[in-house]
Structure 1
Amino acid sequence: MPADDVDRIVSAWRRERPDLDVTPLEVLSRISRLARRLDLARGRAFAGTGLDSWEFDVLSALRRTGDPHELSPGQLVSETLVTSGTMTNRVDRLAARGFVERHPDPADRRGVLVRLTRDGMAVVDSALAELLAHERDLLSELEPAERELLADLLRRLLRPFESGTG
């Protein structure tokens, strides 16, 4: 298999620090670099929809909930892995664009719910279709069984972080 940038990095560390086991870099540096490249690719996939990746993250979290497509700000924080201050800013910006609305939470007098608007649903549905087409192309180098195996292995690595033990 041809070498990649991580092979070069690992080789350099092995030369400079032969006393350390740098094998974790062979997996985790690739994941890190791939995540960054995927973020950039997502930005390109969303270019035609006018959304930024963070906007897609919030809108898709709402879209996935089903009718009436609403969550509390705290639930959005959990879904998108950002701070509450960041989420407040994001909801403000999405509301200004007409993609979400705030409504009082009937179960909590002090709470609000963030609801996807018709325009928000249209733009997130369009962005999802663009993203899936783009990501399908990215994964075309792998056979279906390889994609399934990779998904299983990544799930095993991610699970401790999601359960709070990682």
Structure 2
Amino acid sequence: MDSPSDTTDRETRLWERLVEPRQLTLFGIGMRVRRLNRIRTEHVGDAVAAAGFQVVGDYEVAAALRRSSTPRTPSSLAEDLLVTRAGMSGRLDRLEAMGFVEREPDRVDARSHFVHLTAEGDVAVDAAFKQIVEADRRLFAGINTSEQARLSGLLRKVLAVIDPE
């Protein structure tokens, strides 16, 4: 069964007399990915705000610490999250002010320190993650689990070509 027409279909129909059908297919994919990203970004922002984070970037730092089995240095977090050291410092300052992280001096190198989540930070990350997963469940409710797995595989294949890790 075909899906109902959407704004992307209406937009691509306006181009039909000017470009080849294959170009319109690719154009439609790009438009839908952009729309989905915009909607998901809003949902993630709402989820992390409800859990007490000021911005998504702060949640990303806290989530990286939650996944880590040991405290991390600010520079290792910055490198992993593709953030400047100054940007990481600002995020850590906000998280520390909220009581979500603590910084401890490195016993070996006095110029450095380690960051870890507090119990309150653990709770906030878990709450945000739960809400993000629920938002994703709603976003992808229109396709079954088999289709979700197929979509994930197709997106992985696309990204492997343009953004190999």
**Which TM-score tier does this pair reach, normalised by the shorter chain?**
0.7 to 0.9
Structure 1 residues 28 and 107, CA gap change in structure 2 (3 angstroms): farther
Bigger Cα displacement from structure 2, 28-37 vs 43-52: 43-52
Unaligned runs of 5+ in 1: none
TM-score, structure 1 normalization = 0.80
Is 1:60 matched up with 2:63?
A: yes
Structure 1 residues 6-155: aligned runs within 5 Å: 6-15=8-17, 17-18=18-19, 21-51=23-53, 52-66=55-69, 68=70, 70-105=71-106, 109-155=110-156
Bigger Cα displacement from structure 2, 32-41 vs 18-27: 18-27
Bigger Cα displacement from structure 2, 142-151 vs 25-34: 25-34
Aligned residues: 160
1:39–1:53: 8 Å Cα contact kept in structure 2? no
Structure 1 residues 79 and 3, CA gap change in structure 2 (3 angstroms): farther
Bigger Cα displacement from structure 2, 137-146 vs 19-28: 19-28
Q: 1:122 offset after TM fit, Å?
A: 1.4
TM-score, structure 2 normalization = 0.80
State the percentage of identical aligned residues: 34
For each residue in 1:68-120, what CA deviation from the matched residue of structure 2 results, as whole angstroms up to 9, or x when unmatched?
A: 3x222233234433333222211111111111122234565543322111111
Structure 1 residues 28 and 85, CA gap change in structure 2 (3 angstroms): farther
Tell me how large the CA RMSD over aligned residues is: 2.5
Compare relative contact order (CA 8 Å, sep 6+) and give the higher one, 1 or 2: 2
Structure 1 residues 103 and 138, CA gap change in structure 2 (3 angstroms): same
Structure 1 residues 90 and 144, CA gap change in structure 2 (3 angstroms): same
In structure 2, what is the Cα distance between the partners aligned to 1:137 and 1:22? 28
